[in-house]
Structure 1
Amino acid sequence: MHTILPFMLAMVAAVVLLEMLAAKLKIAYPILLVVAGLLVSFIPGLPRIKVDPDLIFFIIMPPLLFEASWSISFKEMKKWWRIITSFAFVVVFFTAMAVAVAVNYYIPGFSIALGFLLGGIVAPPDAVSTAAITRFVSIPRATSAILEGESLLNDASSLIIFRFALVAVGTGQFLLPDAVTSFLWMVIGGAGIGLLLAWLFVQMHKRLRMDASSNMAFNLIEPYLMYWVAEQLHCSGVLAVVLGGLFLSNRRLEFLDSESRIQAINVWESFVFILNGIVFLIIGLDLPEIVEGMRASGTSVHTGIIYGIMVTAILVLARLISAYSAMIATYLFRPSVMPSRSRRQVMLIPLTLGWSGMRGVVSLAAALAIPVTLENGMPFPQRNLILFITFTVILLTLVIQGLTLPLLIKYTGVFENLAVNGTSPEETRQQMKHGLKQHIYQFLKTKYDNEPNGNAGIEKMLRLWEERAKAADDSGMTARNKAIFVELLESQRQYLTELNKDPNIDEGIIRAQLYQIDLEEERLKII
């Protein structure tokens, strides 16, 4: 313990330093993390970290999925649900099947079940990697919503494939009727348990009147509870966390106060960032043992790299085929939603979407979760080769696609000057602020018509929202004025919530303004 603890702290420090270096170099930090994980494996004398495969899903997956569902725009998901669900389910299955058929044919000793196991592991693109890479280029909210929504749901679909493949490898058989029944129970039961528990959590937050620290502590254990309960009932813990997280996210204004919402953003971002970094470094530390096991089974590193390149090529090709198929289907059946761009740019949009399929932590966690032995005590077939191929796929997609995707977007210009219904994000933001300002004045005039005159605190509020500047002092902020100010802030939240129902309004802009309101309420508490 005294040896491992300092090493784990050093890993966290390394993750932070690498993120700082990535920001300075203007590249996505997952690229540096995966390269660093590879380099770390060559350092002699480092302690070997043994990860229990049975616990890897429970430790890593719930918080990653919960944070992703907490930050995504549910409104945008509903708007683009057709393409999101097709990429998250149909494309994932198509990709897993393509990988299964190819490795069964080309890699000796790989059965179809093992092929589907590998396919389920490497099929889902990583939301964290995609978001980090696209941060350096401007893309429309529709594209980002499709990528985020796909990454959130395809984790669930790919991990269901992974679970069924594990059973098929362990038992040596696959019964279709039993599989269909189990699949329906996993999906319906997992979704129902996640929504039920999320509703119970909302009631507990409301009725127990927790402070910010208690809210945050309870919020941290919620994804683990949803995942654990669903898994105990043989449902999909992943779907439980995803849908439960979406339910809680869309009701955060109901059961969390402003301080809790501010803390939640900071805590979850830091927690997930550290988890992502540590997983990348752990696979690097485990790489020598993986290589040794792969060699012991008769596969050289050179051959493993060739297999990894082959699987990566299949993944990229399958995603490009799916992207262009989705464009053709949209053109045939829903031409009204096609972007008003030139034919060249329209043809290049699927290329950009297809090239954005970087793999990351979800694939690593799934690969690490493969048990070392079967139930009969025999070694799990091809485990080390699967881990090595997974690491190769992640390295290649992050480095090659991750470094070239921003250049591809800039070179093709497919997203330049792309406004929704003629309104750019900046114009939308200005319109929202103007409407909010008008709402504030109307609120004060209607409810406190006689109080502003001669009241320094109320006049200060008017100057604050009219000129967007704080007063020199807060001497006029009496208890009465604070109560009015808090009521005014709550009225703004209600206005923004109603405004968010407009499908043409970017929810990211609304959330940013709500965050500013929360900060303003917290500032008011210390006056």
Structure 2
Amino acid sequence: MQRLELLLGLLAAIVFFAAVGRRLKIADPIAFAIGGLILAVIPQVPDIQLPPDLVLLLFLPPLIYAASRHTSWAEVRQSVRILLFLAVGLVLVTMVGVALVVKLVSPEVPWAVAFALGAIVGPPDAVAATSIAGSMRLPRPVVRVLEGEGLFNDVTALVAFQIATGVIVAGKQFHLAEATGRFFYSGALAVVAGLFVGWLGHRVLFRLKNDTSEVTLTLLEPFAAYLIAEKFHASGVMAVLALAMYQSNVKRQAISSSARLLSGSMWEIVDFLLTGFSFILMGLQLPRAMEGLVEEKGTNILLITVVACLAVVLVRPAWIFGIGRLTRPLRPRNLDGTPTDGLTQPGLTVISWAGMRGVISLALALSLPETLPDGTPFPGRGMVIVVTFAVIAVTLVGQGMTLPILIRRLGIVSSGRTAALAEMNAQVRLAQTVLRRLDDLTESEQINGEALARVRTIFAERLETLERRCNKTGEDITPAGQVDEQTIDLLREMITLQLEELQEMRRTGEVDTPTALRLQRRLDISDRLRPGV
């Protein structure tokens, strides 16, 4: 009963802190983390401890999948150079930088422990980055880089962490060739595992023909990919990424439109709840982490914490602008001289400040064993946990809460006109594809001529309207998501009116329950898809 009450209490806390955060215009992960810190100082709130490997298994596969299930390989290819610099280069540079400053201020810390700490705090959090990026209307190139970096850098950090802890636990010597081989082995095998699960799931989905079964399978797939990869000592995170990219880029969709709508709603809920659980639990772990202050008597932990936080915050802009300056002559450019990747100086400034750490750093820190195989305490474990918490707090609260201010100061919020025009051009392409297919079907004797004519009329009129709108000047195009408020309010009011009348008809028996539920679903979908919302 206590566990059930605790679970219900956490659910209530998630809803409460999300509501408060949105009222204060704070991104969900930041609101949840602050909420967890508040709960941690309340004596009545129990100390919640989850095994670190369970944290990785429960939270990482669905969170990574939810963040990457719409990732486009074409968009990744557009930013592949900067993604490699960030997801591989920056993580390794941050690891080395943190290790050097920690060793400089506290020489008694073993090199392997310093490198393990650097690997733990090296990767920015994918969930925090996508959440904050999604709440601001940033230009698409900036969002693309933030999302891509947050998804791919975990692989680099996990491999580096495993190598560092292997040196500590097993007493092995570090070999660059072995580490490089393990990195590529882990990535390649993980991609194979993810593609296999995606391929197999794709074929199973074609045969299910049931919305709830299809959606349930999509929930199981990321866990399957993660577990298979980990079974063969490969990167579970990379396997989930490969699975998500396979599914989002395969030409023929395996699930029906109704199942896709249901799946989208389900993944929104899963993403929201797991983000809430993970960041609140992170805040709740703070008192336990502070116990490390007592354990590490001979270590200047306060100084280590300060220099580690400074290194994490400062290395990122130094690397981004330093590499940017060195590679500027090599960047492909359009005829007008602008970079083809669409990244401007203000955009790079935003990327350099968006270095929030989160769940992956916490889970890695807590996964450190308490003792070595010979029974001696793991060197510096308490220090690593405390410093990791400090880095997460400084970056998540400090950078996360000031990032929106920086974005507004730089004035790089997207107006939406480019997105609106791109959307209309895509709709024109879709309508033209349908009309060409209808031309092919004209000769078929199996298709009713009247049905063909009606469908042709619908899409011909749609194409004419779209082409007329596309021919307007950019100033006349209404940006996506900026339909006037009166239209939105009126549409919402009319849908609500219909729902109320339908409920009254159902109450009085004028329509039966199945009919009422079908009509209610149509109205709910109309409300969800209304323009501008």
TM-aligned CA deviation for residue 454 of structure 1: 6.6
- Show CA shifts across 1:167-187 (max 9, x none): 112123324144344333222
Report the residue type matching 1:26 in the other structure: K
Give ranges in structure 1 of 5+ residues lacking alignment: 469-507, 510-518
Aligned counterparts, 1:302-381, within 5 A: 304=301, 306-334=303-331, 336=333, 340=338, 346-381=344-379
TM-aligned CA deviation for residue 144 of structure 1: 0.9
Report the residue type matching 1:331 in the other structure: R
Distance 1:316 1:250, change over 3 A: same
Aligned counterparts, 1:247-266, within 5 A: 247-251=246-250, 253-266=252-265
Report the residue type matching 2:325 in the other structure: I
Identify the residue that residue 273 of structure 1 maps to in structure 2.
272
- Show CA shifts across 1:109-165 (max 9, x none): 422211121111111112221222233432221111111111111011111111111
Identify the residue that residue 44 of structure 1 maps to in structure 2.
43
Aligned counterparts, 1:440-451, within 5 A: 440-441=434-435, 443-444=437-438, 447=441
Contact 1:53–1:371 (8 Å) recurs in 2: no
Contact 1:140–1:415 (8 Å) recurs in 2: yes
Aligned counterparts, 1:66-465, within 5 A: 66-107=65-106, 109-176=108-175, 177-206=177-206, 208-251=207-250, 253-298=252-297, 304=301, 306-334=303-331, 336=333, 340=338, 346-414=344-412, 424-441=418-435, 443-444=437-438, 447=441, 459=454, 462=457
Taking the aligned partners of 1:452 and 1:442, their CA distance within structure 2 comes to 17
Taking the aligned partners of 1:241 and 1:359, their CA distance within structure 2 comes to 20
Aligned counterparts, 1:479-518, within 5 A: none
- Show CA shifts across 1:353-392 (max 9, x none): 1011111222222222222333333332222222222222
Distance 1:168 1:210, change over 3 A: farther
Contact 1:99–1:119 (8 Å) recurs in 2: yes
Identity of aligned residues (%): 31
Report the residue type matching 1:132 in the other structure: S
Taking the aligned partners of 2:202 and 2:430, their CA distance within structure 1 comes to 28
Q: Which moved more, 1:31-40 or 1:53-62?
A: 53-62
Q: Which moved more, 1:75-84 or 1:171-180?
A: 171-180
Taking the aligned partners of 1:6 and 1:465, their CA distance within structure 2 comes to 58
Taking the aligned partners of 1:35 and 1:453, their CA distance within structure 2 comes to 63
Taking the aligned partners of 1:239 and 1:299, their CA distance within structure 2 comes to 39
Q: Which moved more, 1:137-146 or 1:325-334?
A: 325-334
TM-aligned CA deviation for residue 256 of structure 1: 1.6
Contact 1:125–1:357 (8 Å) recurs in 2: yes
Q: Which moved more, 1:127-136 or 1:273-282?
A: 127-136
Taking the aligned partners of 2:318 and 2:151, their CA distance within structure 1 comes to 21
Identify the residue that residue 488 of structure 1 maps to in structure 2.
none
Distance 1:466 1:368, change over 3 A: farther
Taking the aligned partners of 1:129 and 1:26, their CA distance within structure 2 comes to 15
Distance 1:9 1:379, change over 3 A: farther
Taking the aligned partners of 1:358 and 1:123, their CA distance within structure 2 comes to 10
Describe the SS at the equivalent of 1:161: helix
Describe the SS at the equivalent of 1:71: coil
Contact 1:279–1:364 (8 Å) recurs in 2: no
TM-aligned CA deviation for residue 92 of structure 1: 0.8
Identify the residue that residue 501 of structure 1 maps to in structure 2.
none
TM-aligned CA deviation for residue 458 of structure 1: 6.3
Describe the SS at the equivalent of 2:41: coil
Distance 1:304 1:14, change over 3 A: farther
Contact 2:431–2:459 (8 Å) recurs in 1: no
TM-aligned CA deviation for residue 71 of structure 1: 2.5
Q: Which moved more, 1:181-190 or 1:76-85?
A: 181-190
Contact 1:187–1:239 (8 Å) recurs in 2: yes
Taking the aligned partners of 1:229 and 1:335, their CA distance within structure 2 comes to 39
Taking the aligned partners of 2:326 and 2:263, their CA distance within structure 1 comes to 40
Contact 2:155–2:187 (8 Å) recurs in 1: no
Contact 1:312–1:396 (8 Å) recurs in 2: yes
Contact 2:61–2:240 (8 Å) recurs in 1: yes
Taking the aligned partners of 1:305 and 1:234, their CA distance within structure 2 comes to 36
Taking the aligned partners of 1:259 and 1:128, their CA distance within structure 2 comes to 27
**Is 2:30 the counterpart of 1:31?**
yes
Report the residue type matching 1:432 in the other structure: A
Taking the aligned partners of 1:316 and 1:81, their CA distance within structure 2 comes to 23
TM-aligned CA deviation for residue 406 of structure 1: 1.6
Calculate the aligned-residue CA RMSD, in Å.
3.2
Identify the residue that residue 497 of structure 2 maps to in structure 1.
none
TM-aligned CA deviation for residue 70 of structure 1: 0.8
- Show CA shifts across 1:30-68 (max 9, x none): 111111111111100322222112322222222222222
Give ranges in structure 2 of 5+ residues lacking alignment: 464-479, 482-517, 526-533
TM-score by length of structure 2 reads: 0.79
TM-aligned CA deviation for residue 193 of structure 1: 2.3
